[in-house]
Amino acid sequence: MPRVLVSDKLAKEGIDILKQVAEVDVNTGLSEDELCKIIGDYDALVVRSGTTVTAKILEAAKNLKIIGRAGVGVDNVDVPVATEKGIIVVNSPGGNTIAAAELTVAMLLALTRNIPQAYCTMIKKEWNRSKYVGNEVYTKVLGILGLGKIGQEVAKRCQSFGMKVIAYDPFISAEAAASLGVELVELDECLKRGDYISLHLPKNKETLGMISTKQFEMMKDGVRIINCARGGIIDDSALIAALKSGKVAGAALDVFVSEPPDFSSELFSMPNVVTTPHLGASTEEAQTNVAIDVAEQIVDVFQGKSARSAVNMPALSPDVLAAVQPWLPLAERMASLAAQTSEGRPSQISIRYGGELAAIETGPISRAVVVGLLRPALGESVNSVNAPVMAKTRGLDVVESKSPEGGDYASLLTVSVTTDKGVNEVTGTLFGAKDMRVVRMRGFPMDLMPEGVVLIAPHTDKPGVIGQVGTIIGNAGINIASMHVGRKTAGENAIMVLNVDAEIPTEILQKITEVKGIDSVKQVRL
């Protein structure tokens, strides 16, 4: 039974799903070293934002197949290293959207009406009506940075208050924004026009420190800032200076550079700063949603299916998945056959899709080809998650092309491996959903079932050669399951391909090589 480690608090609903197929250990609050010690025993790891999944932990995670991030942001997971190691990283992109949007709106109103500050005086039994005069948000301009899932939900809610919503997001079309009634603008304009600026961006190289002194200078005097996205997108010292100068009238922060934050920071003693301890996703509904979402994906991956929200693999719709799935074993085996029968150092792999196959989404098939090509050399360390990275780091170019022509077949897949010694090409097709065939190899017509042990012997097409090979194999007590000979012209070069029921020992292969007319002999395992 696979083993799952849950290293941050996870809703029971998610754990129950995992328990149906795996042994689940919940062990929270572990240090990096403690995690390193135990992670080797697990097939899956589930985290929220409390665990930082570092390269060191991934190095120790010898059996890990999947990391489930019960939430949106994967900035606490070293995704590039996980990808290199072939570990799928999944998240729950939509499970806490509403929770985070609702908290953002709560923060915006709390900031505008001084609710937390007023509450603090009330519990001291003080009655301060005049001190806490606020503003109305009605007709004010909200500038949203990052009009993604949460940004859009915040926009809708703030529009219902009569706010004018503008947004900066270079990756969303003006039409999509317009359909939400949001005016899409450039960053500077968004900063200049907003009475409120609310951040809904991912934390990455581009967004880290994106709001700093220069950006505060552009803003309106008395602007209010809300960050329920990630700490570090706003430069804290620049924010403190802008709050002190009065440029920023107030800030509401749910997220911090380190969590728990450094409470000695001035941010926690300023009267116009409202803070919460990363509560954006902290609703019962959101926690249940994200737990179920990642647990289901982990179960899917354990059962050999695709994860619907993998961040280091392209997402596939069920339709696409159904169309590509039957081709994956054939693609991998054809590439493996090409790799095991090539001479020299590979520099390029070209994948051609012909006929009906050219019309479907072929990305996963290309990944399977790369896996098949690299696996004879790299073993199980290569899989469909890390195959493109592995190919790139080995200087292997992957070139894809498509043509509606399938020749005599409805669909054709051709894999060509270019090495410093030449080009090796294998073409295959599927009959029905399962019947895999290699129909051409090195230019010779063929009818090979790519499975088990296969012997490949280019030779001169003349009487006696095939018979002698058959006799040698038979005398060695090995059964030949099928034999195909491909030739273009009688009496010239040909290729003999045999499916055999057991591996042929080296000395027998040597005997076959010595048969007059045999050019070379290669035994491959598919």
Catalytic one among 126, 259, 451, 514? 259
> Which of these segments, 27-35, 60-68, 273-281, 360-368, binds ligand NAD (CB under 6 A)?
273-281
Answer yes or no whether residue 72 interacts with ligand NAD by CB under 6 A.
yes
Answer yes or no whether residue 106 interacts with ligand NAD by CB under 6 A.
no
Two structure tokens written together for 110: 């709390």
* Residue from 58, 82, 158, 281 binding ligand MLT (CB under 6 A): 281
Q: Is 484 a catalytic residue?
A: no
DSSP classification of residue 504: P
Q: In what helix (H) or strand (E) does residue 98 lie, and over which residues does it extend?
A: helix 97-113
User: Which of ligand NAD, ligand MLT, none does residue 172 bind (CB under 5 to 8 Å by kind)?
Assistant: ligand NAD
In whole angstroms, what is the distance from residue 511 CA to residue 76 CA? 58
Compute CA 362 distance to the chain's CA centroid, rounded to the nearest angstrom: 17
Of the two residues 144 and 526, which places its CB atom closer to ligand NAD in the complex?
144
> Which of these segments, 69-77, 389-397, 408-416, 489-497, binds ligand MLT (CB under 6 A)?
69-77
In whole angstroms, what is the distance from residue 160 CA to residue 180 CA? 12
> Which of these segments, 200-208, 369-377, 380-388, 414-422, binds ligand NAD (CB under 6 A)?
200-208
Answer yes or no whether residue 49 interacts with ligand MLT by CB under 6 A.
yes
Answer yes or no whether residue 509 interacts with ligand NAD by CB under 6 A.
no
Instruction: Please report how close the Cβ of residue 481 comes to ligand MLT at its closest, in angstroms.
Output: 54
- Contact between 92 and 293 under an 8 Å Cβ cutoff? The reply is yes
Helix (H/G/I), strand (E/B), else coil: 345: coil
CA 179 → CA 7, 174, 185, 457, 465, distances in Å? Answer: 41, 9, 15, 64, 73
Helix (H/G/I), strand (E/B), else coil: 177: helix
β-pair partners for 484? 497
Answer yes or no whether residue 48 interacts with ligand MLT by CB under 6 A.
yes
Answer yes or no whether residue 207 interacts with ligand NAD by CB under 6 A.
yes
Of the two residues 29 and 40, which places its CB atom closer to ligand MLT in the complex?
29
- Contact between 438 and 428 under an 8 Å Cβ cutoff? The reply is yes
Q: What does the DSSP assignment read for 22-35?
A: SEEEE--S--HHHH
> Which of these segments, 119-127, 197-205, 242-250, 290-298, binds ligand NAD (CB under 6 A)?
197-205
* Residue from 35, 82, 182, 201 binding ligand NAD (CB under 6 A): 201
Catalytic one among 69, 157, 200, 278? 278
In whole angstroms, what is the distance from residue 384 CA to residue 220 CA? 50
Answer yes or no whether residue 96 interacts with ligand MLT by CB under 6 A.
yes
User: Which of ligand NAD, ligand MLT, none does residue 48 bind (CB under 5 to 8 Å by kind)?
Assistant: ligand MLT
Helix (H/G/I), strand (E/B), else coil: 174: helix
Return the amino acid letter for 38. Answer: I
Residue whose entry in the numeric block shows the structure tokens 């360390």? 381
Q: What does the DSSP assignment read for 267-313?
A: GGT-TTEEE-SS-TT-SHHHHHHHHHHHHHHHHHHHTT---TTBSSS
According to CB under 6 A, which residues from 124 to 163 bind ligand NAD? 145-151
Residue whose entry in the numeric block shows the structure tokens 């969303």? 172
> Which of these segments, 67-75, 151-159, 241-249, 486-494, binds ligand MLT (CB under 6 A)?
67-75
Answer yes or no whether residue 97 interacts with ligand NAD by CB under 6 A.
yes
Instruction: Please report how close the Cβ of residue 138 comes to ligand MLT at its closest, in angstroms.
Output: 30
Helix (H/G/I), strand (E/B), else coil: 157: helix
Interacting residues with ligand NAD (CB under 6 A): 72-73, 96-97, 100, 145-151, 168-172, 200-203, 206-207, 228-230, 254-255, 278, 280-281
Interacting residues with ligand MLT (CB under 6 A): 48-49, 71-73, 96, 280-281
Catalytic residues: 230, 259, 278
